[in-house]
């Protein structure tokens, strides 16, 4: 791990780091905020997964999480959304695929399978590095995210029962197997057999028996991607049928941007902190 930069913020440290990832076969950049309480003890960690076109920097620059994270004693980890590098296959004119659009899957189709292994990177490789390099209490983890990152947070939590004490999302892609902006990416990453897509689809995972004790979702009513891309009503139906306690807040007039996310960020931090025992 190499340190790109560190800056003091609210008594803690906002750092940006890079590591050579075996899972993605490229350098991966990520951000970690460590609050001041870490000088005395290990702290719980809250993972934030970003959305389409984003890097680690979007929430770090616009998410407005540091003041409250410092108060609550939460380490915030912000990974990148996809592999990067000149050798990584991409479609430069397609914002819904390739770099910035890894969808938190482990691709199985060439040429993407060599690099697009974001599921393994987030669930296996980066946690090992975090535990080795930062003062984290890995027994107390939580996860949340936005849009494609909300999809990633929910699916990863569903497939790793017991690892995360809580899971929430801002405007998640709830049913990517049928959403217009994710189906083409799934086909390229995972192949034509749509049965294999179910492992990366929140609604399908719930239908197939995966469970969370509870889920907290904020969704803007003025989100231009609401009906086709995000489909919160289908997530509600899946949770209702499975008996999952879903809190779905439809926020009147809010869109899909960080104006929306930053407005409700503190609600999510408080919600996770309660479940992490802080």
Catalytic positions:
147, 223, 256
Q: Tell me, letter by letter, the H, E, C secondary structure of 244-267.
A: CEEEEEEECCCCCCHHHHHHHHHH
The answer to whether 197 touches 179, Cβ cutoff 8 Å, is no
H-helix segments, the chain: 57-62, 66-72, 118-120, 126-133, 148-159, 183-190, 202-207, 232-242, 258-275
Q: Which two tokens stand for residue 264?
A: 């409700």
d(CA 51, CA 84): 15
**Contact 43/135 with Cβ under 8 angstroms?**
yes
Question: Residue 198 to residues 143, 172, 208: CA-CA distances in angstroms?
Answer: 20, 16, 8
Instruction: For residue 31, give the H/E element and its range.
Output: strand 26-34
């Amino acid at each position: 791990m190499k340190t790109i930069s560190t800056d003091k913020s609210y008594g803690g440290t906002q750092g940006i780091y890079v590591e050579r990832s075996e899972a993605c076969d490229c350098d991966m950049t990520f951000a970690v905020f460590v609050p001041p309480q870490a000088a005395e003890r290990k702290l719980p960690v809250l993972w934030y997964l970003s959305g389409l076109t984003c890097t680690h920097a979007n929430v770090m620059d616009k998410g407005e999480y540091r003041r409250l994270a410092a108060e609550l004693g939460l380490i915030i980890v912000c990974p990148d959304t996809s592999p990067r590098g000149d050798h990584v296959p991409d479609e430069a004119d397609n914002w819904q695929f390739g770099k910035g659009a890894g969808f938190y899957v482990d691709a199985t189709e060439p040429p993407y399978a060599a690099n697009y292994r974001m599921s393994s990177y987030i669930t296996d490789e980066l946690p090992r590095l975090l535990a080795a390099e930062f003062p984290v209490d890995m027994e107390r983890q939580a996860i949340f995210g936005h849009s494609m990152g909300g999809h990633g947070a929910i699916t990863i939590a569903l497939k790793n029962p017991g690892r995360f004490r809580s899971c929430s999302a801002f405007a998640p892609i709830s049913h990517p197997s049928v959403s217009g902006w994710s189906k083409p990416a799934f086909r390229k990453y995972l192949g034509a057999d749509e049965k294999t897509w179910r492992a990366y689809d929140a609604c399908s995972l719930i239908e197939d028996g995966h469970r969370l004790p509870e889920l907290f979702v904020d969704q803007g009513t003025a989100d231009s991607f609401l009906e086709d891309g995000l489909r919160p009503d289908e997530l509600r139906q899946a949770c209702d049928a499975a008996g999952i306690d879903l809190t779905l807040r439809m926020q009147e007039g809010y869109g899909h941007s960080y104006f929306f996310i930053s407005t409700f960020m503190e609600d999510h931090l408080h919600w996770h902190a309660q479940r992490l025992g802080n």
